[in-house]
A and B are shown apart, each in its own frame.
Chain A
Amino acid sequence: MSKDILMDIRSVSRRFRGLIAVNDVSFTVAPGELVGLIGPNGAGKTTLFNVLSGHLPPSGGQVLLEGRDISRLSATHCARSGIGRTFQVVKPLTTLTVHENVTVGALLHHPLAVAREKAEAIIRRVGMGSLMDQPASSLTLESRKRLELARALAIEPKILLLDEILAGLNTSEINESIDLIRSFSKSDGLAVIMIEHNLHAVMSLADKVVVLDYGQRIAEGMPNDVVRDPKVIAAYLGDDQDAA
């Protein structure tokens, strides 16, 4: 392979008793690459994220980060190895302020004073400088999503897993977020996998797109190509035969 591989997802499966949520999924992510992960609801995208971030062990297959097998690592150790993650249902630490929330992340690699500074810098960069000392419980949804992003960035990850970070935002908020994600990805060289239903966002951000349906990878490639792939269209809209 001529390109470096940061994360190598090899035939990962995840089974829950009888249900196969993720079925033999493979793809790679290069450093600095932004991968869009799309597919209909229930396709197994979040489950795959849970495996990648260590919250669930895989039932089969392997996940390699910079060549190291991290498949069996716990969530804590995955984070320490450089996997950052946001959750679909944003959960800020409500008893803390915005600054404190992000500081918790920064403490992973820095002592307290430095962590506070780094946290402040990240908060300003995501555009929440004015909310620095607000209690996290008082934030709007958009701010909570930004906070979630800021907190994930604070642990200085090598790869960032964003789980529907644009869901629930209005158009202008989405555009702002797209610019933000692009800046982190391109200027910091941070690899990103984004689960997203908003195809416009995926098209404008992603270097490549992976499509899941019923737990399996049904397509992979450049955004423009994937979106025109008949298999992908069928997965989202259903076959003509089904409608008949």
Chain B
Amino acid sequence: MSAFLNDYYLNIAVMTCLWAALSGAWNLMAGYGGLVSLGHAAFFGIGAYVTTIVYTKFGLSPWFGLLAAMLVTPSVAVALRWPCFRLRGAFFSLATLVFPIAMEIVANNWVELTRGSSGIAIPFNPGIENFIFRSRLAYLVAAFILMAIVYLITRWMHRGKLGLYLIAIRDDPATAASMGIDAVRVKLLVTAISGALTAAGGFFYAQYILFLDPPSMFSINVSIQIALLSIVGGLGTPAGPIVGSLLMTPVDGVLSQFLGGGPRLLIYGIVLLTVVLLAPHGIVGSIRQLRRAR
């Protein structure tokens, strides 16, 4: 019994770190750049599929897959998002909704590569070279490292050149231009970084769950969860995604025991709307504001 409970908690811990990492990657684009992507599942899914295909179809170590994913995904991200940069605000976001849907259609139909809707099951061959482990603890360490990397990148960006430039572009593009900032290049850069990190998360997820299929990889639920965690925790802050995940992921774990998909997401939606209306700066942001007011 205690072994089961331990396993259960370990799983929650792993997922908490993973979601914090994914949400943190999203936060780079949305929180700092004002590029609210509602379709980040596209990068998550591409990352997972590329690594899995490299491993199962070509027999190469998933580490190569990770490398490939971190090259392919930003390229795709940049290619798809670049025409959308001329869309401002909500229209950009609406455009991002489109991509996971398109990816899902592609994944479902390109059967030779992706086995279509039946999905790909990854054989359980434990070993560091395959990034598959017997113990959950090992996964936890890896997930924690990923989360830490994302956090550190966000901190580095936070008031560094990239972060400041993003804020300038977001708040006042005309002024940003008059200071010599090339908005398109900056947006492409942050999109590429965000895409690469999200793909790494997808890689982790694939090697952890050992099964992927188009609906679960590209689902809107993934996109919603990624966004929700950062908003609850604090958009545009390095710790926000982590705080959000610490709060929401365990809750989600409990909820999914008792509730099906519909009611669970209903609660997410209500939480989202409530936070937006009542505490738009999220937990971390609100704490900061209170501190400043003193």
Contacts and interface: CB of A to CB of B under 8 A. Distances in A.
A96 B164 contact: yes
A55 B179 contact: no
Given A55-B174, A107-B165, A76 B160 contact: no
Interface string A65-107: 0000000001110011000110100010111100010011101
Contact of A105 (B172, B179, B182, B183): B179
B111 interface: no
Contacts of A237: none
A80 to B, nearest CB: 4
B88 interface: no
B132 to A, nearest CB: 40
Given A100-B164, A104-B165, A76 B171 contact: no
B182 to A, nearest CB: 5
B178 A53 contact: yes
A135 to B, nearest CB: 8
B186 to A, nearest CB: 10
B26 to A, nearest CB: 19
B161 interface: yes
B171 A80 contact: no
Main secondary structure of the interface of B (DSSP, over half): helix
A205 B294 CA distance: 44
Number of contact residues on A: which range applies? 20 to 34
Contacts of A53: 178
Interface string B31-47: 00000000000000000
Given A100-B164, A104-B164, A75 B171 contact: no
Contact of A76 (B159, B161, B164, B182): B182
B177 interface: yes
Contacts of B171: 93-95
A14 interface: no
A74 B161 contact: no
B168 A104 contact: yes
Contacts of A91: 172, 174-175
A151 B167 CA distance: 15
Contact of A79 (B160, B164, B167, B177): B177
A48 interface: no
A129 to B, nearest CB: 20
A160 to B, nearest CB: 11
A96 B180 contact: no
B181 interface: yes
Interface string A148-192: 000110110000000000000000000000000000000000000
B168 A93 contact: yes
Given A91-B175, A112-B160, A112-B161, A80 B168 contact: no
B145 to A, nearest CB: 26
A151 to B, nearest CB: 7
Nearest to B177: A75
Contact of A107 (B161, B172, B174, B182): B161
Interface in B168-213: 168, 171-172, 174-183
Contacts of B165: 104, 107
A108 interface: yes
Given A104-B168, A104-B179, A75 B174 contact: yes
Nearest to A152: B178
A55 B159 CA distance: 27
B172 A76 contact: no
B172 A75 contact: no
B179 A108 contact: yes
27 contacts: A53-B178, A54-B177, A55-B178, A75-B177, A75-B178, A76-B180, A79-B178, A79-B180, A80-B180, A85-B178, A87-B174, A87-B175, A93-B171, A95-B167, A95-B171, A96-B167, A100-B159, A103-B164, A104-B176, A107-B164, A107-B165, A108-B180, A108-B181, A112-B161, A152-B178, A155-B179, A155-B180
